[in-house]
């Protein structure tokens, strides 16, 4: 195993108000990343304000008391040569600045300002409705992304995990200024926030700086999201018509939460299936049969559930054959154990890509910060890789047989398809 000892010296510090700081010194880099994460996202919303977490993220860049306008924020960060942005997911929202290590004070000043002191001006909110709806339009026009959204809608239905992170255009239009203020007050506060700082830093100095810049963070009481309800007894299908030259599919199975003891085996299973150019699906679907340009398999895990899903962009005429081939490859993994050679290759692949990813301060901040925010515990890279190494052929077989079942199968399609699709349903029901 590649030594990762240089990555193991992180520090977790909890301030008296409950704010948590994870510091990860990286002596070999000249950069630093500040990542501020709050445990809120679309799964914390109600149906009436679905999309408000994302709307709020946009509004934090619209001005503060100290930096009244958008340009006051962006020009100051641009002058650092910094990379900066924000993002909203179903389970958390993040804000980050990556810059030269000697610019850390400016980065902390700006990111704490937008996180704590945004004005949320009503006029700016009305203007921002347009860009947000255009962002939704952009995603609607991208079928390879859109199919993932409707897949999760199929999986989880009309409950928070099944809703779009960006909400609906109707919700964006009717969102009130007071809704935004109320959501901010009830979700952005001390013990709901984790700050991760990784790069060329001194941990003791960063602790003092965070205490200084985040001194006036609000107090609040954490709320937990609704537990998803799952009740599936047979394969499910959803089709969204779109005139395209390629039919886009997400075909997948209900699987495990991030806390499941077999989660690492599930990750390996996904890579065996569609995790690279030597994966089974890439070789069979693309190289041997020429049915698709892009085919990949991945895992999404939440606190209490998850899914393993394969995406493929198939020529419209090859949809049925592609479905049969993809499902056949899944079936093979339930019949006999993978070879020791294939398992070792995939473990080496995971280890190699993992090590490469942790060379960057932003990846390191995400690795440690997400664990503390979502799992309330932190494993080092070596501990994570030890779990991967411990997975056996029998584990892979057990997981495949547990997950790849008809009553867990879901298929989302975007393409020029209309009607009941009896042939597709027959493929799913006979699997």
Instruction: Return the exposure string of 59-93: e unless at least 16 CB atoms fall within 10 Å of the residue's CB, then b.
Output: bbbbbbeebeeeeebeebbeebebebebebbbbbb
Helix, strand, or coil (residue 142):
coil
Hey, is 230 helix, strand or coil?
coil
Catalytic hit among 27, 45, 48, 57: 57
Identify the H or E element spanning 98: strand 93-100
Report d(CA 284, CA 215) in Å as an integer. Answer: 56
Closest CA to 222 of 36, 22, 44: 44
User: How does DSSP classify residue 162?
Assistant: G
Alpha helices (H) in 175-239, listed in sequence order? 177-187, 203-213
R_g of the chain computed on alpha carbons: 23
Q: What b-and-e string marks burial along 294-326, b requiring 16 or more CB atoms within 10 Å of the CB?
A: ebbbbbbbbbebbbbbbbbbbeeebbeebbebb
| Total H helices, total E strands in the chain | 16, 11
Tell me what percent of the chain is helix, strand and coil, each rounded to the nearest 5: 50, 20, 30
Strand partners, 87: 94
Residue 321 known to be catalytic: no
Distance of alpha carbon 182 from alpha carbon 159, whole angstroms: 21
3 state SS of 305 = coil
Burial of 97 (0-12, 13-18, 19+ CB in 10 A): buried
Buried b (16+ CB within 10 A) or exposed e, 136-167: beebbeebeebbbbbbbbbbbbeebbbbbbbb
From CA 409, how far away is CA 234, in angstroms rounded?
7
The catalytic residue positions are 57
């Amino acid at each position: 195993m590649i030594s990762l000892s240089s990555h193991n010296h992180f520090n977790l510090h909890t301030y008296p108000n409950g704010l948590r700081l994870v510091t990860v010194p990286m002596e070999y880099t000249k950069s630093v990343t500040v990542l501020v994460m709050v445990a809120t996202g679309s799964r914390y919303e109600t149906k009436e304000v679905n999309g408000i977490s994302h709307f709020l993220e946009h509004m934090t860049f619209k001005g503060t008391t100290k930096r009244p306008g958008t340009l006051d924020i962006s020009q100051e960060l641009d002058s650092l040569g910094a990379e900066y942005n924000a993002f909203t997911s179903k389970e958390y929202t993040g804000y980050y600045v990556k810059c030269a290590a000697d610019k850390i004070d400016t980065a902390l000043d700006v990111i704490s300002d937008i996180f704590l002191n945004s004005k949320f001006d009503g006029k700016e909110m009305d203007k921002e409705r347009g860009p947000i709806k255009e962002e939704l339009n952009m995603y609607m026009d991208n079928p390879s992304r859109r199919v993932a959204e409707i897949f999760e809608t199929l999986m989880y239905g009309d409950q928070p995990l099944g809703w779009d992170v960006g909400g609906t255009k109707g919700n964006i239009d009717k969102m009130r200024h007071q809704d935004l203020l109320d959501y901010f007050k009830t979700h952005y506060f001390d013990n709901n926030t984790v700050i991760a700082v990784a790069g060329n830093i001194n941990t003791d100095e960063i602790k003092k700086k965070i205490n200084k810049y985040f001194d006036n963070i609000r107090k609040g009481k954490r709320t937990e999201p609704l537990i998803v309800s799952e009740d599936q007894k047979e394969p499910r299908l959803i089709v969204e018509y779109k005139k395209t030259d390629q039919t886009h599919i997400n075909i997948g199975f209900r699987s495990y939460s991030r806390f499941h003891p077999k989660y690492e085996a599930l990750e390996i299973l996904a890579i065996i299936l569609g995790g690279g150019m030597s994966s089974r699906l890439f070789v069979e679907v693309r190289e041997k049969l020429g049915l698709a340009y892009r085919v990949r398999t991945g895992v999404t895990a939440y606190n209490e559930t998850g899914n393993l899903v394969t995406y493929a962009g198939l020529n419209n005429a090859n949809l049925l054959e592609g479905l049969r081939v993809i499902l056949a490859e899944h079936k093979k993994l339930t019949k006999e154990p993978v070879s020791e050679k294939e398992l070792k290759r995939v473990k080496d692949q995971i280890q190699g890509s993992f090590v490469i990813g942790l060379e960057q301060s932003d990846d390191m901040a995400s690795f440690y910060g997400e664990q503390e925010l979502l799992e309330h515990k932190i494993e080092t890279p070596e501990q994570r890789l030890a779990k991967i190494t411990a997975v056996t052929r029998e584990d892979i077989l057990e997981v495949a047989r547990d997950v790849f079942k008809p009553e867990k199968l879901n298929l989302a399609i975007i393409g020029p398809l209309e009607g009941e699709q009896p042939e597709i349903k027959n493929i799913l029901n006979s699997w």
